[in-house]
Amino acid sequence: MSRGVRVRVWGDLALFSRPEMKVERCSYDVITPSAARGMLEAVYWHPGMKWVIDKIYVRKPIQFTSIRRNEVKSKVLASSVLNVMNGGNKPLLISCRQEIVQRAAILLKDVDYVIEAHFDMTDHASDCDNPGKFKDIIMRRLRRGECYHTPYFGCREFSAKFELYEGDDVTTEYKGMERELGYMFYDFDYSNPEDIQPLFFRAVLKDGVLDVRDQEVVR
């Protein structure tokens, strides 16, 4: 039984932040593989399997827009929480009046993708776990529109709609074109939990398809 699946995801706004933009966020041109994996994990996740993104199909033109949002410039520190748990008297609050700051963000608008992915079994699979079982659960949840939490495009306020894509071919924008997107965030390397490293790859959109299979990743 094939472990592959195609999922259509679409929405009004998306923000896949570039890490080099430290304060005011700017989105990549296309959804990143790690964001696509997160959307599939919102539909179904199990320790006995892991999602692997193969291709991302861009179904609508890449369009940017900008907005300004009210944010806070600080956060409650874990050390402060630990201090209070041990009997300390540090305040565990953020005053919006004092900490509020307005920041701009460059977003994608009117996005529509088809994510082509498969799953691999992991060492955490039990004796009763098998690819056929996982595939049946995934297909059933996609057809029913079930998810653990609402998938989102980079930020939780930019929610995404999703459905199982059952067509044979995927219609894309930028047919007959090749577009260099530069280095894009791929995922995190969790092989050493004490030193988690970001991974990047050179992204190329060819005929409206971002193929992430067999990509050379750099740290």
Residue 92 has a CB neighbour count (10 Å cut-off) of 11
pLDDT of residue 91: 77
DSSP-assigned beta bridge partners for residue 188? 198
| pLDDT tens by residue, 139-175 | 999 999 999 999 999 999 999 999 999 988 899 999 9
| pLDDT tens by residue, 37-57 | 999 999 999 999 999 999 999
3-state SS, residue 162: strand
Task: Give Cβ neighbours of residue 26 (< 8 Å, ≥ 6 apart).
Answer: 17, 18, 105, 106
- In 2-99, the DSSP E strands lie at 4-14, 25-26, 49-58, 64-72
Q: How far apart (Å, rounded) are the C-alpha atoms in residues 23 and 12?
A: 23
Residue where the block lists tokens 């992204």: 203
pLDDT band at 180 (very low <50, low <70, confident <90, very high): very high
Residue where the block lists tokens 């082509």: 116
The model carries a pTM of 0.87
The domains of the chain are located at: 4-69+105-218
| pLDDT tens by residue, 115-135 | 999 999 999 888 888 999 999
Helix (H) or strand (E) holding 142: helix 131-144
Q: Region of 105 please: left (phi>0), alpha (psi -120 to 50) or beta.
A: beta
Domain topology for 4-69+105-218: Alpha-Beta Plaits (3.30.70)
Q: Region of 218 please: left (phi>0), alpha (psi -120 to 50) or beta.
A: beta
pLDDT of residue 167: 86
Q: Which residue has the higher pLDDT, 96 or 126?
A: 126
DSSP state of 149: S
DSSP-assigned beta bridge partners for residue 14? 108
Buried b (16+ CB within 10 A) or exposed e, 62-74: beeeeeeeeeeee
How confident is the model over 208-218, as a mean pLDDT?
90
Q: Which residue has the higher pLDDT, 207 or 75?
A: 207
Q: How high does pLDDT run on average in the chain?
A: 91
